A and B are shown apart, each in its own frame.
Chain A
Amino acid sequence: MTAPKALRPLQVVTGKGGVGKSTFAAALALGAARGGRRVLAIEMGAPAGLAALLGVRPAAHGIPVPAGPGLHLAYYDGEAALAEYLLRHVPLRGLMNAVFAHPLYRAFVAAGPGVRELMAIGKVRDELLGLSTGRPLWDLLVVDAGASGHALQLLGMPAATARTFAGLARREARRVAGSLADPRSTAIHVVALPEEMPLEEAAEIVERLRGELKLPVGRIVVNQCRAVAPPGAGAALALLESGGAEDPARRGLALAAGRALGWLRLQEDGIAALERRVGLRAERLPRLAAEPFGRPEVERLAGLLEETDG
């Protein structure tokens, strides 16, 4: 086997809700593992889309489970990561468990602004560097950061808390913010659907990453793209519509073709506008009709992906 191409070790996936972020993250992780890398796919919060698509379910926070050759899946929960962090500084489990159960802790620390997000992202960095195991276990981490609104808050948190926190947490926040912002180690991929508004929102996400957040943008991926129609499709649709409206078969064909062509036009115009606006090429993933959409479909998509950081 040839040595896999060097990808940035921290691959983060985001996009608007419902565009197939987890699908791309799962395909990216599978593809990278097939290329001979040791890959850990990570969900933030709780097992959700990635676990369903890969068909495995991690039982507890931070414990990777095998999900195929070279591939593991874990989920990171912010509150559990915070408890781990505090235990590292105060290694007295019995006493700390009492603290963790205390209403004061529950009301402020665990629910407090930014702390959980910082700790979850901090754990991603620890895992990348192999801080808890003494040596790095993974060549690549693929993080499903969730819907853009929440994900951008998550990714911006280390920098924000580095400004507001003091003491150890500030140092931690600075370190994490530094790794995230480093284009040598991190690529943040933005996923979209081939429709007007999701494509525009992808452009807005890219602009926010580049602007206020100053984080390295990776690939732009357009999920569920329609295959291009043959050149005669428009003329054939006009013929269908020119007569026999009372024939349901003719009407059905015209409806299906009309919609397909309409959406195709929006797809092509929208992708072109996005590429112009952000100055990056958008990769296309095909629409697969399968439902339920599961691991076999993800395996297929993984075979179609390029090996690139964008």
Chain B
Amino acid sequence: MIDAAASATDLARVIAEHRAIVCVGTGGVGKTTVAAALALAGALAGRRAMVLTIDPARQLARALGLASLRRGGEPVAATALAAAGLTLPGSLSAGMLDQKGAWDAFITRHAPSAEIRDTLLRNPFYQELSTSFAGSTEYMAIEELCRLDERGDHDLIVIDTPPAGHAVDFLRAPERIERMLDPEVAGWLARPYRSLRRGPFRALSASVRFLLRSVESAIGTRTLEEVSAFFVALDALFGDVAERAARARRLLRSERTAFVLVVGANEKVLAGGDDLAATMRALGVPLRAVVMNRVHPLPGGDAVGAAAVDEVLAGLGAQGVDAPTSAWLRETWTAALATARAEQERLAAFARRLPPGIARVEVPELDHDAHSLRDLAAVAGLLSVPQATV
């Protein structure tokens, strides 16, 4: 077991005291399940909670008893809650980010006229940008978080992030959008392409002129014209968009936002966790808690030795259990014990590498995939128990 640092806050308080919780972690650690369980824990504690996932998998929808996750979110059905024996003092909604839809809604909200809106929505460069720009999903997730925050229908918003290396993209998304909207850069791109060729084009530096020509031949004129047209139309939104990006960046660093890192107990995942924690420190975003997910329990506890196990197996032998089965039982127990001990060591070492003051919770491995509301409630219970030690 890991001793909690003297200053450790517990996860129950993280859930109770924050407006937004961002779950980060590498792929395959059960981040989506933890995000949903955190929201459910909030709802069980009386908060109006919402969980938003950008993971395209349907896991969360199924766990929450929703056929599909709608954009903007949908309350979890009372019948599903009742079937799982849950009574929520608060409320629970779930939603999935539809990247393209979120961009379109964003443009529609901020375009000063129908004409500019339509120009943008029809622009091929915009259509590519809104579906496949690296970091565009991430940015829209943060934008959606800001929007939900402003709308005020929920007082706890838990957001799931894309896996693996993309978690870092998520943290950097507002900066990337702001950089793209750099007035100097945008100014060039917004200049109508035709006039770039003539008058003002001559005034540009040789490298820009050269770039435009080489890019033109390599990628094609049409694309540059589209990009230019896109930025001309976007120009009308610049103030707004830049303001939104700055706001998103502030929200990610605000006291009202908590980051929760989800890890599993294997070396590779924990190394990824180290990287993420370091990136968060460098970017100044507040890591408040670590959830160590799917930790294997010690079979029978610490005190059980091989001799005691052999004694039980001898008894089973007398009751007719054959030798191959007995050997299998022994191997299974030995493997489970070795796994549990190794995980405890790795998690303890990982915890020592974390800065102080971060809540840590272990969630034991269930004996099946967590995919029902009951499973989520079990995880939520583990997450929200106040911990003296974790």
Contact = CB atoms under 8 A, between A and B. Distances in A.
B267 A291 contact: yes
B80 interface: no
Contact of A239 (B129, B298, B316, B337): B316
A239 to B, nearest CB: 6
Contact of B300 (A153, A251, A289): A251
Interface in B141-166: 162-166
A99 to B, nearest CB: 4
Contact of A167 (B125, B220, B304, B308): B220
A197 B211 contact: no
A255 B297 contact: yes
Given A153-B132, A197-B59, A253-B333, A266 B369 contact: yes
Interface in A220-274: 229-233, 235-236, 239-240, 244, 247-253, 255-260, 262-263, 266
B309 A249 contact: yes
A232 B321 contact: yes
A201 B180 CA distance: 34
Question: SS class of chain B's interface: helix, strand, loop or mixed?
Answer: helix
Specify which of B56, B298, B321 lies most central, judged by the most chain A CB atoms within 10 Å of its CB.
B321
Contacts of B206: 95
Contact of B221 (A166, A193, A196, A198): A166
B165 A45 contact: yes
The residue in A103, A108, A160, A168 that gathers the most chain B C-beta atoms within 10 A of its C-beta is A108
A257 B371 contact: no
B207 A168 contact: no
Given A17-B27, A85-B218, A253 B324 contact: no
Nearest to A287: B335
A147 interface: yes
Interface in A189-218: 193, 195-198, 201
Interface string B207-233: 110110011111111110001000000
B27 A253 contact: no
Contact of B214 (A90, A196, A244): A90
B208 A104 contact: yes
B325 A233 contact: yes
A17 B26 contact: yes
A85 B132 CA distance: 21
A99 B210 contact: yes
A230 B312 CA distance: 18
Contact of A150 (B166, B179, B264, B322): B166
B338 interface: yes
Contact of B185 (A104, A117, A146, A258): A104
Contacts of B176: 111
Contact of B266 (A109, A229, A255, A291): A291
Interface residues of B, number: 87
Contact of A255 (B165, B324, B336): B336
A34 B125 CA distance: 47
A178 interface: no
Interface string A87-118: 00110000110110011110111011111110
A197 B369 contact: yes
Interface in B287-341: 297-301, 303-305, 308-309, 311-313, 316, 319, 321-322, 324-326, 328-329, 332-333, 335-339
A197 B325 CA distance: 30
A132 interface: no
A52 B271 CA distance: 12
Interface string B228-265: 00000000000000000000000000000000000010
Contacts of A116: 134
Contacts of A252: 298-301, 304, 309, 333, 336-337
B3 interface: no
B57 A292 contact: no
A157 interface: yes
A165 B182 contact: no
A113 B267 contact: no
A164 B219 contact: no
A310 to B, nearest CB: 23
A292 B267 contact: yes
| Most chain A beta-carbon neighbours within 10 Å: one of B182, B214, B365 | B214
A289 to B, nearest CB: 6
Q: Which are the 8 A-B pairs with shortest beta-carbon distances?
A: A17-B27, A18-B28, A252-B300, A166-B220, A167-B220, A249-B308, A252-B299, A232-B325
16 contacts: A99-B214, A103-B184, A105-B211, A111-B180, A147-B164, A149-B162, A167-B221, A169-B223, A195-B369, A197-B371, A236-B326, A252-B300, A255-B297, A256-B333, A260-B336, A266-B368
Given A18-B28, A169-B220, A249-B305, 16 more contacts: A90-B217, A105-B211, A107-B180, A107-B182, A111-B176, A150-B164, A157-B132, A164-B124, A167-B222, A168-B218, A197-B371, A249-B304, A249-B311, A252-B301, A260-B332, A263-B368
